[in-house]
Amino acid sequence: MSMSTSITRSTCPYCGVGCGVLIESQGQQITGVRGDPDHPANFGKLCTKGTTLHLTAAPEIARQTRLLQPMQRLARGAAPTPVGWDAALDLAAERFARTITEHGPDAVGFYISGQLLTEDYYVFNKLAKGLIGTNNVDTNSRLCMSSAVAGYKLTLGADAPPACYDDVNHADCLFIVGSNAAFAHPVLFRRIEEAKKNHPGMRVIVADPRRTDTADLADLYLPLQPGSDVMLFHGLLHIMLWEGWVDPAYIAAHTTGFDALRALVRECTPEHVAQVCGLNKEDLFTAAKWFATSPATLSLYCQGLNQSSSGTAKNATLINLHLATGQIGKPGAGPFSLTGQPNAMGGREVGGLANLLSAHRDLANPEHRAEVAALWGVPDVPSKPGKTAVEMFQAAADGEIKALWIACTNPAQSMPDQATVRQALKRAEFVVVQEAYATATTCDWADLLLPATTWGEKEGTVTNSERRISRVRAAVPAPGEARHDWRIAVDFAQRLEATLGANGVGAIGVRPEFRTTTPEATKNLERNSALTPMAEQPEKTLFPYQTPEQIWLEHRESTRGRDLDITGLSYEKLENEGPQQWPLREGEATGQTRLYENGHFPTPDGKARFAALPWQPLAEPRESRYPFSLTTGRLRDQWHGMTRTGTLGRLFGHVPEPVVQLHPQDIQRRGLKDGDLVHVTSKRGSILVPLQASSDIGLSQAFIAMHWGPEYLSGRSGAGEPLAGVNALTTSAYCPTSKQPELKHAAVKILKAELP
């Protein structure tokens, strides 16, 4: 008798487009996947990654890739051995408690992931900031969107992308900058292609140092020099001012700070900008005219702006253009940052970063800390900023952070400057890795491995780039002994509570010298007695959750009155009415499609703020010893470190192996030839890859895809440790405001390998 097929509605776990999927399953096995025709992000479409999702879950693949039971490594370098869940979690709690008691709460750190669901994120954030009393909780989303967060907050007053996917259909001009959406957000790109076909008058401008597949769609392609984006935006504003293309009425009514910006861009003449950016003046005029004078202009941008030592300035100065021309708050217009990961946005919502708190609150704001402490039922939330991703691994390498918990991410491949990351993992006294798959981090560095569930097996919510919250649903049970991420975090937190002796920061049993006792903390305690904390069981546990929905309800309450208020949303509404955008306040029927349509911004005076930030050169400009600008990026058919997509042969049909791409003239000038094996070397490390000629790359520039890890690339890292793919080369220099590292640029040299 054939088994019947069940259909489960869920969300693709790859990129920030957040496509809806229908998972087909028979018994305990996922057998197929289709696009959800009713999901507003994709209306049934999927890209190559999405359509092959079920194949990555096939039993023969899972047997090779999945972690199925907790494992303990008794000594570094030794093979891990199985251990029961209770013993594993007891050990973790005992080691973390000991570290906290002996060295203080800031001696531990949690490095989590934009792959986690909102509910998972929420528990980790509360565990670190509410229970342990450290803000050392950060995420791999720091590597992909923290500059967008900082840019929005600086200019518009809140971390809220004002536009939506449907704006693509209303735009007359699309300005795509620092984004290869054709590969990184394929279903959105298909929407762009269709919109352009249906609206022949639409102008598409693409600014990118590489001529990508996205650039092939452009009516105007601007091959700007790496790192010159801020100069480009200032130059466009200079032209708009000169030509009278700005919107004085909008500027006067809805913004502040324009005089300082106007003074700053005065020097950014077309001649100067053309020279710095490597562009011609005519193209600058055309871009400025199309942007400013089109009825509706939408900017789409991603890692080219974010992964930069000037990431915040790049984001904010692009937003300047929208404010100066009134291209915001109307259909088809606005600055729209695309998120790389499936739930980078949800992580921001729960404040799962070292400088944020729940519901877009700021750690630096005493009132916000007090509100969160009251909501959680703890005496206070520490004011000392936590370590961001790069800082956290540097602190571990320096011996300052002694116990690390890594969940659902692979820093031994994805972090920049791998020599430092490997030193951190080596020096940390206790490393817990909570993961679904075997990765470079689990294989080499984990003292304790905790197997987690993944797509198709877990329940919760994610938020995509357009602020749309979707349900993630389980189609099959957890394999082996794998547990849900939120469950692992809760089980650990409850043990830690017990081990430390009580609940909350004020009573965790940490030695007094490590405690934050301030008048503010006392005030919080008083507030707590006046408010009804959501976690109603302070004598028992701060983590009373039995289901992800219970966690989500607590998160929902934390958003009340905030810009992302979702008090009108419920799991039931998501079930019955499908994905919804925030804000969706109590009493409202639907969420808000686009923001700032009334010209009012969430700043103290209700006005948006121009950012007068000057252009800064790259952190590591190319020089005579390292004469190439290396950039990294995605391929169409691979995802991150290829733990899933790398298991399918068919996804290597597009690009079968890692290569370094150089312009043919550079290849000829250096006496190399296409196919040569070359050492690509930066100040931090070296890798060995085949050379490929490409006229899509500018002169003195090089490109390597980000996906291949140590198992594919050979060479040597700066510390003589095992290899780490392209991130052996990249720099951890970061934007001083967003702390996002400059993964998009490193100075390298390229030399032919001497073969035996």
**Residues that bind ligand SF4 in the complex, under the rule CB under 6 A:** 12, 14-15, 17-19, 42, 46-47, 49-50, 185-187
Can you read off the two tokens belonging to residue 2? 């054939």
Q: Which is nearer to ligand SF4, 56 or 72 (CB)?
A: 56
Q: Which is nearer to ligand SF4, 19 or 521 (CB)?
A: 19
Q: How far is the CB of 54 from ligand SF4 (least distance, A)?
A: 12
d(Cα 362, Cα 532) in Å, to the nearest integer? 22
Q: How far is the CB of 188 from ligand SF4 (least distance, A)?
A: 7
**CB hemisphere CA count around 239 (13 angstroms):** 23
CA geometry: angle at 306 spanning 454 and 439, to 5°? 30
The backbone torsions φ and ψ at residue 691, rounded to the nearest 5 degrees and listed phi first, read -95, 140
Q: Which is nearer to ligand SF4, 301 or 405 (CB)?
A: 301
d(Cα 7, Cα 17) in Å, to the nearest integer? 22
Q: Which is nearer to ligand SF4, 527 or 636 (CB)?
A: 636
- Residue closest to ligand SF4 when measured from CB atoms: 50
Residue entry with tokens 């620092």: 178
Q: How far is the CB of 21 from ligand SF4 (least distance, A)?
A: 7
Q: Which amino acid is it at 162?
A: P
Q: Which is nearer to ligand SF4, 12 or 743 (CB)?
A: 12
Q: How far is the CB of 440 from ligand SF4 (least distance, A)?
A: 22
Q: Which is nearer to ligand SF4, 42 or 297 (CB)?
A: 42
Q: How far is the CB of 11 from ligand SF4 (least distance, A)?
A: 8
Q: Which is nearer to ligand SF4, 19 or 160 (CB)?
A: 19
Q: How far is the CB of 632 from ligand SF4 (least distance, A)?
A: 19
d(Cα 151, Cα 376) in Å, to the nearest integer? 29
Q: What contacts 751, CB < 8 A, 6 or more positions away?
A: 678, 679, 681
Closest CA to 435 of 403, 461, 469, 412: 412
The four Cα atoms 275, 277, 279, 282 give a dihedral, to 10 degrees, of -80
Q: Which is nearer to ligand SF4, 48 or 541 (CB)?
A: 48
Q: How far is the CB of 12 from ligand SF4 (least distance, A)?
A: 3
Do residues 157 and 375 lie in contact, with contact meaning Cβ atoms separated by under 8 Å? no
d(Cα 664, Cα 393) in Å, to the nearest integer? 38
Q: Is the dihedral of CA 174, 177, 183, 187 positive or negative?
A: negative
Q: Which is nearer to ligand SF4, 117 or 691 (CB)?
A: 117
Q: How far is the CB of 187 from ligand SF4 (least distance, A)?
A: 4
Q: Which is nearer to ligand SF4, 46 or 97 (CB)?
A: 46
Q: Which is nearer to ligand SF4, 13 or 506 (CB)?
A: 13
Q: Which is nearer to ligand SF4, 49 or 360 (CB)?
A: 49
Per DSSP, 685 falls in state E
Q: Which residues of 118-150 are buried (b: 16+ CB within 10 A; e: fewer)?
A: bbbbbbbbbbbbbbbbbbbbbbbbbbbbbbbbb
Q: Report the Cα 177 to chain-centroid distance in Å.
A: 17
Closest CA to 358 of 533, 599, 592, 588: 533
Q: How far is the CB of 566 from ligand SF4 (least distance, A)?
A: 22
The span from the first CA to the last CA of the chain, in angstroms, equals 61
Q: How far is the CB of 167 from ligand SF4 (least distance, A)?
A: 17
Q: Which is nearer to ligand SF4, 140 or 423 (CB)?
A: 140
Closest CA to 113 of 574, 357, 459, 462: 462
Could you give the maximum distance between any two Cα atoms of the chain, in Å?
78
d(Cα 179, Cα 148) in Å, to the nearest integer? 13
Residue entry with tokens 């005219």: 289
Q: How far is the CB of 589 from ligand SF4 (least distance, A)?
A: 27
Do residues 469 and 348 lie in contact, with contact meaning Cβ atoms separated by under 8 Å? no
Q: How far is the CB of 306 from ligand SF4 (least distance, A)?
A: 17
Q: How far is the CB of 186 from ligand SF4 (least distance, A)?
A: 5
Do residues 39 and 579 lie in contact, with contact meaning Cβ atoms separated by under 8 Å? yes
Q: Which is nearer to ligand SF4, 340 or 591 (CB)?
A: 340
734 strand-pairing partners: 741
Q: How far is the CB of 45 from ligand SF4 (least distance, A)?
A: 8
d(Cα 749, Cα 623) in Å, to the nearest integer? 9
Q: How far is the CB of 464 from ligand SF4 (least distance, A)?
A: 8
Q: Which is nearer to ligand SF4, 211 or 636 (CB)?
A: 636
DSSP per-residue letters across 450-486: EEB--TTT--EEEE-TTSEEEEE--SSPPPTT-B-HH
Q: Which is nearer to ligand SF4, 184 or 490 (CB)?
A: 184
Q: Which is nearer to ligand SF4, 116 or 446 (CB)?
A: 116
**Strand 297-301 and strand 173-177: pairing?**
parallel
Q: Report the Cα 415 to chain-centroid distance in Å.
A: 12
- 533 cis-preceded (ω within 30 degrees of 0): no
The backbone torsions φ and ψ at residue 93, rounded to the nearest 5 degrees and listed phi first, read -65, -40
d(Cα 658, Cα 690) in Å, to the nearest integer? 7
d(Cα 746, Cα 748) in Å, to the nearest integer? 6
d(Cα 452, Cα 373) in Å, to the nearest integer? 29
Q: Which residues of 534-562 are buried (b: 16+ CB within 10 A; e: fewer)?
A: bbeebeebbbbbeebbebbbbbbbbbeeb
Q: How far is the CB of 644 from ligand SF4 (least distance, A)?
A: 11
Q: How far is the CB of 439 from ligand SF4 (least distance, A)?
A: 19
